[in-house]
Amino acid sequence: MCGIVGYVGNRSAVEVLLKGLQRLEYRGYDSTGVAFQKGNRIEIEKSEGKLENIFKRFKEMDLNRAPVSTVGIGHTRWATHGKPTTQNAHPHRTGSIVLVHNGIIENYREIKEDLMKKGHEPQSETDSELFGFLVLEELKLKKSFIDAVRFAFQKLEGACSVVVMSENDPDTVIGIRNGSPLVAGIDSEGAIYLASDPQPLLDYTKKVVYLENGDMAIAKRSGLEFRDVITGKVVQRETIELQWSVEQIDKQGYPHFMLKEIYEQPTALIDTFNSNLDRIDPTSFPLAKHPGVDKLMNASELHLIACGTSYYASLVGKYWLEKYARVSTQVEFASEFRYRDPVLDDRALIVGVSQSGETADTLAVLRDLKKKGKATAAVSNVRGSTISRETDGAFFTSAGPEIGVAATKSFLTQMGIFLLWTGAFLERRKKGSADGLFEETVHLPHVLKNYLDDSSGIREKIKEAARATVTKKGFFFIGRGSSYPLALEGALKLKEIAYVHAEGYAAGELKHGPIAMIDENVVVIVLAPKDGWRDKTISNLEEVKARGAQIIGVGDPSDRHLQDLSHHFIPLPTLKNEDLNVFPLSIVVQLFSYELATLKGTDIDKPRNLAKSVTVE
> Which residues are near ligand GLU by CB under 6 A?
1-2, 77-82, 88, 101-104, 126-128
Q: What is the CA radius of gyration of the chain?
A: 26
- Which one from 2, 295, 374, 545 is the annotated catalytic residue? 2
CA distances from 84 to 18, 46, 423 (A): 19, 11, 48
Report the alpha-carbon distance of residue 378 to residue 391 in Å, rounded. 6
* Residues in the chain, total: 617
Start-to-end Cα distance in the chain: 12
- Residue closer to ligand GLU by CB (options 124, 398) is 124
Please identify which of the residues 295, 493, 530, 612 carries the catalytic annotation: 612
Q: Which is nearer to ligand GLU, 103 or 198 (CB)?
A: 103
The question of whether 495 is a catalytic residue gets the answer no
User: Is the CB of 25 or the CB of 127 nearer to ligand GLU?
Assistant: 127
How many whole angstroms separate alpha carbon 148 and alpha carbon 117?
A: 20
Q: Which residues, in sequence order, are bridge partners of residue 65?
A: none
Cβ-closest residue to ligand GLU?
Answer: 2
Minimal distance in Å, beta carbon 32 to ligand GLU?
Answer: 10
| CA neighbours closer than 13 Å in the CB half-sphere of residue 366 | 30
Largest CA-CA distance found in the chain, in angstroms, rounded: 82
Specify the residue, 88 or 483, whose C-beta has the smaller distance to ligand GLU.
88
| Nearer to ligand GLU (CB atom), residue 79 or residue 442 | 79
CB atoms within 10 A of CB 373: 7
State how beta strands 207-210 and 183-186 pair: antiparallel
- Which value, to the nearest 10 degrees, does the dihedral of the CA atoms of residues 89, 217, 113, 31 take? 10
Mention every residue, 6+ apart, whose C-beta is less than 8 A from residue 253.
Answer: none
- The number of angstroms, rounded, from the C-alpha of 286 to the middle of its chain's C-alpha atoms is 28
| CB nearer to ligand GLU: pick between 2 and 510 | 2
215 neighbors 176 (Cβ within 8 angstroms): yes
Q: Which is nearer to ligand GLU, 127 or 169 (CB)?
A: 127
Q: One-letter amino acid identity for 605?
A: D
Q: Which CB sits closer to ligand GLU, 124 or 362? A: 124
Neighbour order of strands in the sheet with 92-94:
92-94, 97-103, 160-166, 172-178, 215-220, 223-228, 234-235
**Is 206 one of the annotated active-site residues of the chain?**
no
d(C-alpha 248, C-alpha 199), whole Å = 10
- The DSSP string of 430-458 is --S--TTHHHHHHHHHHHHHHHHSGGG-H
Q: Identify whether the C-beta of residue 377 lies closer than 8 Å to the C-beta of residue 394.
A: yes
- Candidates 254, 504, 306; CA nearest to 411 is 306
Catalytic residues: 2, 612
